[in-house]
């Protein structure tokens, strides 16, 4: 293993010289980071043992008005020049996306600089390569802000729960989707209007389809699963379904049945492999996590020793995310002089101890279901539907048949089932949709009880 390059970075490491930071990107999170570092400079120095000084930052348009002071920071349009600046010890990557972020982070590592990033897409897709490079160069890549904004969930799983065999975790890990679902349910708001508001508040990704189609949550879930189970990052094997097709009708039927609709990321060990899935999920309303609203996030982690633990806090936004970025910076500063082999491993487990467990295909996953269908109001239809479910060994938990709307002969039928493997449910839905009196498609939403003893 190579040690980080000697030079100005190491010269001050033992003394009280400030640690010099370069920030790539001065948008929502970049400016939040500057503001928090300036406002809490004294407290942060007392904790870190050294002053953290932002010497340079990059942004595409350096003439743009910023939400943070930039005096004393050399602002440049060329991110690469920050990475190559020999006076900088730590690079904070807050640009987002893969290109040019991946190349910049690898370049920084190559230069022997430590990296802090909030970029979940980058870590989920290229983390294996980045951590390998960092390991070889003996530098740290810290990414607390990449998952659940301000909640210190990476540290909690990687360090606080290190005694446990993690059995499963389930999280509301996309603030934008949770904000949209909350506003739809509480105010009957329109999907597109709420998404615009989430963008205005700085919660949404540069491409908001990442939020509403579940991709951002899957990036974060991939990272959580890796550190929880000691497996490589496997984003491409995750099942990803977002909230874009959720209707207000399903949100309100779910409420009538005692459930709340959330976009959940679920990672669970089973005997046949790891479940890694993001999809809209009904959860019992009495669960604490069902009551997480707005842009707040929560992650429920079940460890064999500790039992269920719940972590809650702001999942997006300028300063909540900066809180995690600055915590990583302090961690980096505190361990600058530590032997790299004695640092907490990037993915919680020693790199040579990762297990390449397979990720289950969605067809193999077992879960409960909410089904909504529209049927012609005539005798025998419900019997036909329940016969199909019985033939496939799918047991019913509840059935709700609504009155037809005035002047209409089509009735909504809602069925809740017990747990069954998804392959059987796919077969059942295909058969139900082929029944003459069933109109249109069957809506299927997965349902999880999140019992502490879920095996």
Q: Which does 119 bind (CB under 5 to 8 A by kind): ligand NDP, ligand HSE, none?
A: ligand NDP
Q: Which does 56 bind (CB under 5 to 8 A by kind): ligand NDP, ligand HSE, none?
A: none
Residue 8: phi and psi, rounded to 5, are: -60, -30
Q: At what angle do helices 248-256 and 175-187 cross, to 10 degrees?
A: 70
Under the binding rule (CB under 6 A), the answer on residue 111 touching ligand HSE is: no
> Which residues of this protein are in contact with ligand NDP, per CB under 6 A?
25-30, 58-61, 64, 79, 94-96, 100, 118-120, 145, 149, 202-203, 205-206, 316-317, 321
The response to whether 30 counts as a known ligand-binding position is yes
DSSP-derived pairing of the beta strands 366-376 and 410-417: antiparallel
Task: Report the nearest approach of ligand HSE to the CB of residue 81 (Å).
Answer: 28
Q: How many residues does the chain have?
A: 455
User: Is 113 tagged catalytic?
Assistant: no
The response to whether 43 counts as a known ligand-binding position is no
Q: Which does 174 bind (CB under 5 to 8 A by kind): ligand HSE, ligand NDP, none?
A: ligand HSE
Q: Which does 331 bind (CB under 5 to 8 A by kind): ligand HSE, ligand NDP, none?
A: none
Task: Report the nearest approach of ligand HSE to the CB of residue 314 (Å).
Answer: 9
The response to whether 125 counts as a known ligand-binding position is no
Task: Report the nearest approach of ligand HSE to the CB of residue 204 (Å).
Answer: 5
CA quadruple 209, 212, 216, 220: dihedral, nearest 10 = -170
Residues contacting residue 300 through CB under 8 Å, at least 6 positions apart: 169, 170, 171, 289, 308, 309, 310, 311, 450
Tokens 């842009």 correspond to: 295
The response to whether 380 counts as a known ligand-binding position is no
d(C-alpha 62, C-alpha 77), whole Å:
6
Q: Tell how far CA 395 is from the center of its chain.
A: 32
Q: How many residues bind ligand HSE (CB under 6 A)?
A: 11
Any bridge partners for residue 438, and if so which?
A: 375
Build a one-symbol-per-residue string for 171-210: x at contacts with ligand HSE by CB under 6 A, - elsewhere: ---xxx--------------------------xxx-----
- Pick between residue 280 and residue 317 the one whose CB is nearest to ligand NDP: 317
Kindly identify the residues of this chain, within the stretch 144-173, that bind ligand HSE according to CB under 6 A: 149
Residue 101: phi and psi, rounded to 5, are: -60, -45
How many CA atoms, within 13 angstroms, populate the side-chain half-sphere of residue 241?
13
Active-site residue (options: 113, 220, 262, 302): 220
- Pick between residue 50 and residue 158 the one whose CB is nearest to ligand NDP: 158
Residue spans of alpha helices (H) in 285-335? 318-334
- Pick between residue 123 and residue 415 the one whose CB is nearest to ligand HSE: 123
Structure tokens at 368: 């409960």
Active site residues: 220
Binding residues for ligand HSE, rule: CB under 6 A, are: 149, 174-176, 203-205, 211, 216, 315-316
């Amino acid at each position: 293993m190579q040690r980080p390059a000697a030079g100005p970075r190491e010269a001050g490491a033992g003394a009280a010289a400030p640690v010099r930071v370069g920030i790539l990107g001065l948008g929502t999170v970049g400016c939040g980071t500057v503001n928090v570092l300036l406002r809490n400079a004294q407290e942060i120095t007392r904790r870190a043992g050294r002053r953290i000084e932002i010497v340079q930052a990059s942004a595409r348009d350096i003439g743009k008005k910023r939400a943070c002071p930039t005096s004393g920071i050399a602002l440049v349009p060329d991110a690469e020049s920050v990475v190559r600046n020999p006076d900088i010890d730590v690079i904070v990557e807050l640009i987002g996306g893969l290109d040019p972020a991946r190349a910049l982070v690898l370049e920084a590592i190559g230069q022997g600089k430590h990296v802090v990033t909030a970029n979940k897409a980058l870590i989920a897709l290229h983390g294996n390569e980045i951590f390998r490079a960092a390991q070889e160069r003996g530098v740290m890549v810290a990414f607390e802000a990449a998952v659940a904004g301000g909640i210190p969930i990476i540290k909690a799983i990687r360090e606080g729960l290190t005694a446990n065999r993690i059995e499963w975790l389930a999280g509301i890990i996309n603030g934008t989707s949770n904000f949209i679902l909350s506003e739809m349910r509480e105010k009957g708001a329109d999907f597109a209007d709420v998404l615009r508001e989430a963008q205005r508040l700085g919660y949404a990704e540069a491409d908001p389809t990442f939020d509403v189609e579940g991709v951002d949550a899957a990036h974060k879930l991939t990272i959580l699963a890796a550190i929880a189970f000691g497996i490589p990052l496997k984003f491409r094997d995750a099942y990803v379904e977002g909230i874009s097709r959720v209707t207000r009708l399903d949100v309100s039927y779910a409420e009538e049945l005692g459930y709340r609709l959330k976009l959940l990321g679920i990672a669970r060990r089973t005997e046949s492999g790891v479940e890694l899935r993001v999809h809209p999920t009904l959860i019992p309303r009495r669960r604490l996590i069902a009551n997480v609203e707005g842009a707040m996030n929560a992650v429920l982690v079940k460890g064999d020793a500790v039992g269920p633990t719940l972590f809650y806090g702001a999942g997006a936004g300028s300063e909540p995310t900066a809180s995690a970025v600055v915590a990583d910076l302090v961690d980096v500063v505190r361990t600058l002089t530590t032997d790299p082999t004695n640092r907490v491993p990037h993915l919680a487990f020693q790199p040579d101890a990762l297990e390449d467990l397979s990720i289950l295909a969605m067809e193999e996953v077992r879960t409960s279901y909410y089904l909504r269908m529209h049927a012609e109001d005539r005798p025998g239809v419900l019997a036909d539907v329940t016969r199909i479910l019985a033939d496939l060994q799918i047991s019913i938990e509840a059935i709700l048949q609504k009155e037809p709307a005035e002047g209409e002969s089509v009735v909504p039928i809602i069925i809740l089932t017990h747990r069954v493997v998804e392959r059987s449910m796919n077969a059942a839905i295909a058969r139900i949709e082929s029944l003459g009196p069933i109109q249109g498609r069957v809506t299927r939403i997965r349902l999880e009880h999140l019992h502490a003893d879920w095996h």
